[in-house]
A and B are shown apart, each in its own frame.
Chain A
Amino acid sequence: MGTIDYFQERVRAAVASGQPLCIRGGGSKDWYGGAPRGDILDTRDHAGIVDYEPTELVITARCGTPLAEIEAVLARHGQKLAFEPPHFGHGATLGGTVAAGLCGPRRATSGATRDFVLGAQLMDGKGDVLSFGGRVMKNVAGYDVSRMLAGSLGTLGLLLEVSLKVLPRPFAETTLSFAMSETDAIRRLNEWGGQPLPLSGSIWCDGMLALRLSGAEAAVDAAVRSLGGEALPDAAAFWTGVREQRHAFFAGDAPLWRLSLPSTTGALAAQGATMIEWGGAQRWLRADGDPATAAAIRRAAQACGGHATLFRGGDKSVGVFQPLAPALARIHARMQDAFDPARVYNPGRLYPGSET
């Protein structure tokens, strides 16, 4: 039996029995989002690169393809996934990468997962295979459903295959470090963001700002001369560590909050440590996960025009993601009705009530 037939059989059986499915690739992001529920639907046998033409800047692969394999093939042709997705463990797959929609250091300057999704093949909650988007760079035929699948945590269906736009690796790359306060770092990052500098990553933690520059050699050289700072040795490993959250900031069991905020939001008046990425737009916070703290963090994030996610650890009963306004929640529910009317896939992974 082919993998698609197998998936179809499982989905139809799940609909008939009312027992939901938990889509799972390498399991590297089991901890993210609402707690996984349902029978495991393993995607790893549906693997392989379907099409890759470096000069078209597009790669198409099946969901179970290891992310490491995709990155290795792209690297052989001098290309990369520009949103630098974190693996968070061995065995991360392409399907899980897109469904989680998480992005690495380059996100603020290059764009998010969804910005690189060109097309997708989806198995809906009835077991039907649907194709959205395509394998070309510009396509406005029909609604852009495939981009919505990025970050949907499998709640709309099983992502069978995805086409991603890829980009060339930069010709030159340098990382500078600066001793700087949080307030200064936020201000400088935003000022630099408005100048034609080849910025490709930033992280501030514990009085130290690291700034990555990538692009044409001339551009990187000129930026180094104008910005000053100290060159950081072994920068490639440093940024992989940032992407995979191996920095000391992430060690320990204290709940980890992710705040997505306007980049100009001032220093957080938070107890505990903060870390700043994405030019100021992504803030990490180690704080309690109790209901009162959670509510306070969410209120503060919303007041600044952003939102907060209980990213890792803590008690998920406070809700992982910031609640939606009622009108928006209604559209969400109808969107799920459209693709997964019986709520077969990943119930509760995005919102607790989303399966009802």
Chain B
Amino acid sequence: MPHLVSESAHDPAARRAQVAAALRARLPASCVLSDPEDTRPYECDGLAAYRQLPLAVTLPTDEQQVLAILDVCRELKVPVVPRGAGTGLSGGALPISDGVVLSTARMSQIKQVDPLARTAVVQPGVRNLAISEAAAPFGLYYAPDPSSQIACTIGGNVAENAGGVHCLKYGLTVHNVLRVRVATIEGDIVELGGAALDAPGLDLLAVFIGSEGMLGIVLEVTVKLVPKPALAQVIMASFNDVVTAGNAVADVIAAGIIPAGLEMMDRTSVRMVEPFVKAGYDLDAAAILLCEADGTALEVAEEIARMSAVLERAGATAIAVSQSEAERVRFWSGRKNAFPAAGRISPDYYCMDGTIPRKQLARVLSGIAAMEHTYGLRCSNVFHAGDGNMHPLILFDASAPGEFERAEAFGAAILALCVEVGGTITGEHGVGKEKIDSMCVQFGRKELDAFFAVKHAFDPVALLNPDKAIPTPHRCAEFGKLHVHHGQVPFPDLPRF
């Protein structure tokens, strides 16, 4: 057998046949795809700019099948790329040419909803929104609400530590998951966390959440459910410059209020979405803030009054409060549709995801404005203003020579600026394949070595999503040749790869 491995390693077709045969010997035929026609739909995730066909795609339906796949991959030394719904935006589920994709999409059972304990036990392929739908009859819901929640799965949410508009008040995935049952590459099943509020020993659950499929395969998740607020209302406030709007956000926080949602859109974004969603946005405003309050009717009334007063004092030029659920949804529609709207006005767009200390907003926005000239591309900004998570949308045309490379370089420069002002290269999308070079900007060699050691603790054979998220010393050295500190990438017109 070892003889076969070394021989086939040089012949991709033979290797594919070998791996597929070994998988089919352990799994039902319907669980293994290896024909390129069948594996094509899995060649990328939500970051479609990067594509790669894997050796095979596996679609296990239960825990035993997951363990069987891991057995085969461990024996044949085949890398494994876990995949949820494939809605990730950083290439975390991008296949590896000599690896297998392990999709958890068919493990989609909601095993239990316990209304008294306020928990749900679900398989990894259950969609985020489906959990809230199952909990709704009990007046409960699952709080983290990534924009892709209609499609994305809880397994993927755990892998990426997904957030959403409500996470300022209700937290990220890491704050809302009690337990994850995991298959390790060594063939063990371990439980991280538990049905209680804590578990003995090191908090490995905290490390596992957001580990981008590099530490283990999610088999089952216990999530917290929280009471559904009786009412939500949103304030839409206009500002005639973004700095004033940014200061207004700080004033809301300083007044002791944690809104259920606090989002900002700049003028470019507002003008981009309004023609499509007709949300009634102020086209003359330089920035729009959306501030949501939720709770009981009296509670919401109190918080809306408090926030309105703060926003007025902070210089809002217009304030509107949603008077019905339909109006609330309409106010939000533009923010929620900013990405598709970008797709309507530009052939392609590139969504970045960095977090900054909020007080640095003006500096970062003016830096981005300057970069628009440097790179010759437009950029609109939507912003989870409450927690400093920015989503600059770089608009480009992939069919124009050099534009994709310029967009990539523009994105990397924005992330370097985020790090420079004390922030981070990713707030919620993950590093994946997309931002792996930017990791060299945020972390030093010693931290990156520690990350590899953490990975080794879970995955000593280094087969789980091995080339994602954490760059090798070699990779950082290569990147360093091109990258000059403080966001100034030389020769932006040069392709990076």
Chain A positions within 8 Å of B, measured between CB atoms, are 53-58, 78, 101, 107-108, 111-112, 114-115, 124, 128-132, 134-145, 147-148, 150-152, 155-156, 167-169, 171, 190-191, 193-198, 215-219, 221-222, 260-264, 278, 281-282, 305-307, 309, 321-325, 327-328, 331-332, 334-335, 337-339, 350-351
Question: How far apart are A336's CB and chain B's nearest CB, in angstroms?
Answer: 9
- Asked whether, in the complex, the Cβ of A196 is within 8 Å of the Cβ of B454, the reply is no
Q: Which of A144, A218, A322 contacts B296 (CB 8 A)?
A: A218
The answer for the CA separation of A112 and B210 in the assembled complex, in Å, is: 18
- Asked whether, in the complex, the Cβ of B299 is within 8 Å of the Cβ of A218, the reply is yes
- Asked whether, in the complex, the Cβ of B210 is within 8 Å of the Cβ of A55, the reply is no
Contacts of B447 in A (CB 8 A): 130-132, 142
Contacts of B258 in A (CB 8 A): 167-168
Question: How far apart are A131's CB and chain B's nearest CB, in angstroms?
Answer: 6
The answer for the CA separation of A152 and B206 in the assembled complex, in Å, is: 12
Contacts of A323 in B (CB 8 A): 200
Q: List 15 A-B contacts (CB under 8 A).
A: A53-B359, A55-B254, A124-B450, A137-B389, A142-B448, A144-B210, A147-B207, A198-B299, A218-B296, A219-B295, A260-B196, A262-B195, A331-B204, A332-B202, A335-B202
| Nearest CB in chain A to that of B225: its residue | A194
- Asked whether, in the complex, the Cβ of B116 is within 8 Å of the Cβ of A190, the reply is yes
- Asked whether, in the complex, the Cβ of B299 is within 8 Å of the Cβ of A215, the reply is yes
Question: How far apart are A130's CB and chain B's nearest CB, in angstroms?
Answer: 5
Interface-side segment among B50-58, B327-335, B418-426: B418-426
Q: 7 tightest CB-CB pairs across the interface, nearest first?
A: A338-B453, A218-B298, A147-B206, A168-B256, A305-B195, A334-B457, A138-B427
Q: Which of B301, B358, B469 contacts A56 (CB 8 A)?
A: B358
The answer for the CA separation of A191 and B139 in the assembled complex, in Å, is: 11
Given A136-B422, A137-B355, A141-B431, are A115 and B174 neighbors across the interface (CB < 8 Å)?
yes
The answer for the CA separation of A320 and B191 in the assembled complex, in Å, is: 20
Report the interface size class on chain B: 35 or more
Q: Is B430 among interface residues, defined by CB-CB distance under 8 A?
A: yes
Question: How far apart are B204's CB and chain A's nearest CB, in angstroms?
Answer: 6
- Asked whether, in the complex, the Cβ of A306 is within 8 Å of the Cβ of B194, the reply is yes
Question: How far apart are B328's CB and chain A's nearest CB, in angstroms?
Answer: 17
| Nearest CB in chain B to that of A265: its residue | B196
Contacts of B460 in A (CB 8 A): 334
Q: Is B188 among interface residues, defined by CB-CB distance under 8 A?
A: yes
Question: How far apart are A198's CB and chain B's nearest CB, in angstroms?
Answer: 8
Given A107-B197, A134-B424, A328-B201, are A191 and B256 neighbors across the interface (CB < 8 Å)?
no
Q: Is B228 among interface residues, defined by CB-CB distance under 8 A?
A: yes
Question: How far apart are B91's CB and chain A's nearest CB, in angstroms?
Answer: 14
- Asked whether, in the complex, the Cβ of B227 is within 8 Å of the Cβ of A141, the reply is no
Contacts of A262 in B (CB 8 A): 117, 119, 195-196
Given contact pairs A143-B207, A190-B118, A307-B196, a sample of 20 additional A-B residue pairs in the complex whose CB atoms are under 8 Å apart: A56-B357, A128-B446, A137-B355, A137-B386, A138-B389, A142-B469, A144-B174, A144-B207, A145-B207, A168-B257, A216-B295, A221-B298, A222-B299, A305-B194, A324-B200, A327-B184, A328-B204, A334-B457, A335-B204, A350-B201
| Nearest CB in chain A to that of B199: its residue | A307
Q: Which of A327, A332, A339 contacts B188 (CB 8 A)?
A: A327
Q: Is B172 among interface residues, defined by CB-CB distance under 8 A?
A: yes
| Nearest CB in chain B to that of A323: its residue | B200
Contacts of B442 in A (CB 8 A): 141-142
Question: How far apart are A279's CB and chain B's nearest CB, in angstroms?
Answer: 9
Interface-side segment among B24-32, B145-153, B160-168: B160-168
Contacts of B257 in A (CB 8 A): 168
Question: How far apart are B361's CB and chain A's nearest CB, in angstroms?
Answer: 11
Q: Which of A114, A138, A151 contacts B384 (CB 8 A)?
A: A138
- Asked whether, in the complex, the Cβ of B116 is within 8 Å of the Cβ of A108, the reply is no
The answer for the CA separation of A137 and B172 in the assembled complex, in Å, is: 10
Contacts of A327 in B (CB 8 A): 184, 186, 188-190
Q: Is B126 among interface residues, defined by CB-CB distance under 8 A?
A: no
Q: Which of B116, B251, B435, B457 contacts A264 (CB 8 A)?
A: B116
Q: Which of A139, A190, A307, A339 contacts B426 (CB 8 A)?
A: A139
Question: How far apart are A263's CB and chain B's nearest CB, in angstroms?
Answer: 6
The answer for the CA separation of A131 and B256 in the assembled complex, in Å, is: 30
Given A137-B388, A144-B206, A147-B207, are A194 and B227 neighbors across the interface (CB < 8 Å)?
yes
Given A56-B357, A216-B295, A331-B458, are A194 and B190 neighbors across the interface (CB < 8 Å)?
no
Given A115-B171, A137-B388, A152-B202, are A337 and B453 neighbors across the interface (CB < 8 Å)?
yes
Contacts of A144 in B (CB 8 A): 161, 174, 206-207, 209-210
Q: Is B80 among interface residues, defined by CB-CB distance under 8 A?
A: no
- Asked whether, in the complex, the Cβ of B202 is within 8 Å of the Cβ of A143, the reply is no
| Nearest CB in chain B to that of A195: its residue | B227
Question: How far apart are B455's CB and chain A's nearest CB, in angstroms?
Answer: 8
Contacts of A198 in B (CB 8 A): 299
Q: Is B230 among interface residues, defined by CB-CB distance under 8 A?
A: yes
Contacts of A325 in B (CB 8 A): 190-191
Given A156-B202, A260-B198, are A140 and B115 neighbors across the interface (CB < 8 Å)?
no
- Asked whether, in the complex, the Cβ of B194 is within 8 Å of the Cβ of A217, the reply is no
Q: Is B408 among interface residues, defined by CB-CB distance under 8 A?
A: no
Given A140-B426, A307-B200, A334-B457, are A78 and B256 neighbors across the interface (CB < 8 Å)?
yes
The answer for the CA separation of A215 and B161 in the assembled complex, in Å, is: 28
Given A55-B358, A136-B424, are A143 and B210 neighbors across the interface (CB < 8 Å)?
yes
The answer for the CA separation of A138 and B358 in the assembled complex, in Å, is: 12
Q: Is B356 among interface residues, defined by CB-CB distance under 8 A?
A: yes
Q: Is B47 among interface residues, defined by CB-CB distance under 8 A?
A: no
Question: How far apart are A59's CB and chain B's nearest CB, in angstroms?
Answer: 13
Q: Enumerate B269-307 residues with CB–CB distance to A below 8 Å.
A: 295-296, 298-299, 301-303
Contacts of A54 in B (CB 8 A): 253-254
- Asked whether, in the complex, the Cβ of B450 is within 8 Å of the Cβ of A140, the reply is no
- Asked whether, in the complex, the Cβ of A351 is within 8 Å of the Cβ of B174, the reply is no
Q: Enumerate B328-362 residues with CB–CB distance to A below 8 Å.
A: 355-359
Question: How far apart are B7's CB and chain A's nearest CB, in angstroms?
Answer: 33
Q: Is B491 among interface residues, defined by CB-CB distance under 8 A?
A: no
Q: Is B211 among interface residues, defined by CB-CB distance under 8 A?
A: yes
The answer for the CA separation of A136 and B425 in the assembled complex, in Å, is: 11
- Asked whether, in the complex, the Cβ of B470 is within 8 Å of the Cβ of A142, the reply is yes
The answer for the CA separation of A101 and B205 in the assembled complex, in Å, is: 15
Q: Is B387 among interface residues, defined by CB-CB distance under 8 A?
A: yes
Contacts of B191 in A (CB 8 A): 325, 328
- Asked whether, in the complex, the Cβ of A194 is within 8 Å of the Cβ of B115, the reply is yes
Q: Is B250 among interface residues, defined by CB-CB distance under 8 A?
A: yes
Given A216-B303, A339-B453, are A137 and B206 neighbors across the interface (CB < 8 Å)?
no
- Asked whether, in the complex, the Cβ of A56 is within 8 Å of the Cβ of B359, the reply is yes
Q: Is B325 among interface residues, defined by CB-CB distance under 8 A?
A: no
Most central of B201, B209, B298, B450 by chain A CB within 10 Å = B201
- Asked whether, in the complex, the Cβ of A260 is within 8 Å of the Cβ of B197, the reply is yes
Q: Is B496 among interface residues, defined by CB-CB distance under 8 A?
A: no
Q: Enumerate B378-437 residues with CB–CB distance to A below 8 Å.
A: 384, 386-389, 422-431, 435
Q: Is B180 among interface residues, defined by CB-CB distance under 8 A?
A: no
Contacts of B194 in A (CB 8 A): 260, 305-307
- Asked whether, in the complex, the Cβ of A145 is within 8 Å of the Cβ of B426, the reply is no
| Nearest CB in chain A to that of B293: its residue | A216
Question: How far apart are A305's CB and chain B's nearest CB, in angstroms?
Answer: 4
| Nearest CB in chain A to that of B435: its residue | A141
| Nearest CB in chain A to that of B469: its residue | A142
Question: How far apart are B267's CB and chain A's nearest CB, in angstroms?
Answer: 24
- Asked whether, in the complex, the Cβ of A135 is within 8 Å of the Cβ of B211, the reply is no
| Nearest CB in chain B to that of A58: its residue | B357
Given A138-B172, A139-B355, A307-B194, are A148 and B210 neighbors across the interface (CB < 8 Å)?
no
Contacts of A136 in B (CB 8 A): 355-357, 387-388, 422-424, 427
Question: How far apart are A154's CB and chain B's nearest CB, in angstroms?
Answer: 12
